Structure 1
Amino acid sequence: MDKPQPRPRDPAGVLLAFPAELRPFLPARHRGEEPVRVGVDGTSSLGHVVEALGVPLTEVGALRAEGLGVGPGYRPRPGDHVEVRPVRRPQRPRPQPPRFVLDVHLGALARQLRLLGVDTAYRNDLDDAALVTQANAERRVLLTRDRGLLRRRSLWLGAYVRGADPDGQLADVLDRFEPPLAPWTRCTVCNAAPLTEVRKSDVAPLLAPGTRRTHDSFTRCPGCGRVYWRGAHSRRLERIVATARRRTAEPGAGAVVAREG
């Protein structure tokens, strides 16, 4: 039986193999190149080389050089063949269940995650430094589409959100982290939980005349005091909940019911 022949080494640089999931991060000139050939200086780490090509390390799983597992601190040598694998899904960060903080551009996604009962911090007035500080202090996964933000060395954990619209972004987050769902239990405005049932008479002064006339069941946020009821918009929200339940394969998927906290 013929012995496998060793791959020829490239004395001019390193050859990096990227899977399809990571290729969109690469510069346009490299996306059709397989493997990607880059020069090395003998001092830069593999993690630096990968990020210099536009791929945040938050999106990278295993790294292998010449068939052996290595870490991002490995210094590649000229001629190395490197395999860059995507982060394994589902990802299970600690603590569990995962909690998130979202950058200022993901407000619609934040509301959908809160609708599903997922602990999601969001403000539209925080800069990048404040987001990293909050993520680190509260051990929240920072969700963003800003690759530069994900490359901040001080960030404990982040994730790039795929999808051009909130529905696609929600599907990506649910697929990657599989957070447990508790729909209708969290305030979509301030993130407080649990929403609690209240008597109509207790909140009647806060309601418009039409709402008082046509609705009888209400819940209220323990944080900001916002009152919730099943209004004209509820069908759209129920579709979001039903789709999320099917995606996460929860028992009773597709059944939409109000839940007490």
Structure 2
Amino acid sequence: MNGPEIRVELAPELGVFVPQGRRRGATAVVTDGVSSLGHVVESLGVPLTEVGELLVDGRPAAAAHVPGAGESVRVRAVERPQRVPGAPLRFLLDVHLGTLARRLRLLGVDAAYESTDIGDPALAGRSAAERRVLLSRDRGLLRRRELWAGAFVYSDRPDEQLRDVLTRFAPVLRPWTRCTACNGLLSEARKEEVAALLEGGTRRTYDVFAQCTECRRVYWRGAHHDRLERIVDDAVAEFGAR
């Protein structure tokens, strides 16, 4: 760029997206004189999905504003909890977030997941078609214009990822109501209805079952239940359930 120079100050939470030198205080940015403020912020490495209020010389400004010479810009992070208007809160996770998807489903959160890499255009297109918030650690994917809504997942640790999403979006939690395999809803199932799908040891040991209404997978309180229950209990204790 070779045009008006502005000063940009990023919220501390956005420092992860920029080089060390831009993480503290205001820094000089040379613009081209025609690009929008949103484009300038993205050119610094910050996805607009992570940007909250934009202030130009202390006054709120739209992402479409074209900055002029000498303007001072403050870029705030998205407020939490973030409200997503216009549709029921539903998520779409990319191929790298399978564990997070299963944990969200465990809590009863509608979380679609692509287990194979279908490509950025297809993911963004599905987000738009189904009006789902796309969760990803891919900044380039979150910059796609066809995206309906998106959010960067800040950690690579599943426990921290889950807390990040629950803190940011405050979804309603309805534990044990969704299939962790396919995201379908679960319903109670009588033992005799699912007996043919069970191994002998399971039939002899357990009497209470649930079954996915979509993929027909059967669930019971098996060997891993205590670990899953801890995940649920921790989330409900902090974020509540309805």
With the length of structure 2 as denominator, give the TM-score of the two structures: 0.94
Deviations 1:14-37 (A, max 9, x none): 111111101111123423x42121
In the alignment, the residues of structure 1 paired with residue 149 and residue 45 of structure 2 have an alpha-carbon distance, to the nearest angstrom, of 17
Match of 2:173 in 1: 181
Structural mapping, 1:76-155, within 5 Å: 76-125=67-116, 126-155=118-147
Q: State the 1:173 CA deviation.
A: 0.4
Q: Larger radius of gyration, structure 1 or 2?
A: 1
Match of 1:217 in 2: 208
In the alignment, the residues of structure 2 paired with residue 216 and residue 181 of structure 1 have an alpha-carbon distance, to the nearest angstrom, of 26
Q: State the 1:97 CA deviation.
A: 3.8
Native 8 Å contact 1:97 1:179 kept in 2: no
Match of 1:160 in 2: 152
In the alignment, the residues of structure 2 paired with residue 26 and residue 243 of structure 1 have an alpha-carbon distance, to the nearest angstrom, of 33
> More deviation in 148-157 or 94-103?
94-103
Decide whether aligned partners of structure 1 residues 250 and 120 sit closer, same or farther in structure 2, where only a CA change above 3 A counts.
closer
Residue 13 of structure 1 pairs with residue 8 of structure 2:
no
Superposition RMSD on alpha carbons, in Å?
Answer: 1.5
Q: State the 1:166 CA deviation.
A: 1.0
> More deviation in 98-107 or 156-165?
156-165
Native 8 Å contact 2:57 2:72 kept in 1: yes
Decide whether aligned partners of structure 1 residues 79 and 64 sit closer, same or farther in structure 2, where only a CA change above 3 A counts.
same
> More deviation in 236-245 or 120-129?
120-129
With the length of structure 1 as denominator, give the TM-score of the two structures: 0.88
Deviations 1:137-186 (A, max 9, x none): 11000000000011111212100012221111010000000000111011
Native 8 Å contact 1:174 1:247 kept in 2: no
In the alignment, the residues of structure 1 paired with residue 154 and residue 238 of structure 2 have an alpha-carbon distance, to the nearest angstrom, of 16
Native 8 Å contact 2:55 2:61 kept in 1: yes
In the alignment, the residues of structure 2 paired with residue 76 and residue 12 of structure 1 have an alpha-carbon distance, to the nearest angstrom, of 8
Native 8 Å contact 2:4 2:33 kept in 1: no
What stretches of structure 1 move > 6 A for 4+ residues in a row? none
Identical counterparts, % of pairs = 56
Aligned residues: 239
In the alignment, the residues of structure 1 paired with residue 210 and residue 138 of structure 2 have an alpha-carbon distance, to the nearest angstrom, of 36
Higher strand share: 2
In the alignment, the residues of structure 1 paired with residue 20 and residue 67 of structure 2 have an alpha-carbon distance, to the nearest angstrom, of 23
Match of 2:28 in 1: 37
Report the residue type matching 2:103 in the other structure.
Q
> More deviation in 102-111 or 119-128?
119-128
